[in-house]
Structure 1
Amino acid sequence: MSNNISTVRQHLLDTLADLRNRENPMEVERARAVADVARVLVDSAKVEVDFIKASGATGSDFMFADEAREAAPSLPNGITGIRRHQIK
């Protein structure tokens, strides 16, 4: 698995599960540190989306899921997939 937004999401879900574990819960300070790092990654992804919009690019390695990269190997010029994102 490469490092992308799906990785961040999975780590956050794992952290939540560890916090909820009654027998061996994660320390709150450690969970807070994970959440802070994730917040910075999400903020950088927002900047990346703004760059994609401004430059007319079709995507980025961080924003694409591994499956999308593998599903579109025949696209030209190094493009690994096309995904439409809609912000509400």
Structure 2
Amino acid sequence: MSNNISTVRQHLLDTLADLRNRENPMEVERARAVADVARVLVDSAKVEVEFIKASGATGSDFMQPDDEEKQAQLPNGITGIRRHQIK
């Protein structure tokens, strides 16, 4: 798994599952720390999106799903994705 927004999402879902584990729950302070770091990453992604818009760039590595996710999201019969520039 590469480090991108999908990684952040998965870690947050894992943290939620750990918090809900009745037999061995994650400490609340640790969960808060994970959420705080994730919030900073999401905020930096927002800045990155604004940069993409302002500069005319075509995307970023952080904002792209993993290759496995790209393939999983494609409907039957669709074999690829064409990227378009954000305007």
Q: Residue 29 of structure 1: CA displacement?
A: 0.1
- Per the alignment, residue 6 of structure 1 pairs with 6
- Gapped regions of structure 1 (runs ≥ 5): 73-80
d(CA) in 1 for partners of 2:8, 2:21: 20
How far is the alpha carbon of 1:55 from its aligned partner? 0.4
Does the 8 A contact of 2:15 with 2:31 survive in 1? yes
Q: Which residue of 1 aligns with 2:55?
A: 55
In structure 2, what is the Cα distance between the partners aligned to 1:56 and 1:63? Answer: 15
Give the TM-score, by structure 2 length: 0.79
CA RMSD of aligned residues (A): 2.2
Taking only the aligned residue pairs, the percentage that are identical comes to 84
The residue aligned with 1:40 is 40
Unaligned runs of 5+ in 2: 71-79
Q: Which has the higher contact order (CA 8 A, sep 6+)?
A: 2
- CA change 1:3–1:83 in 2 (3 A) is farther
Residue number in structure 1 paired with 2:65: 65
2:12 matches 1:19: no
Deviations 1:51-88, CA, capped at 9 Å, x for gaps: 000001110000011224xx56xxxxxxxx62789xxx
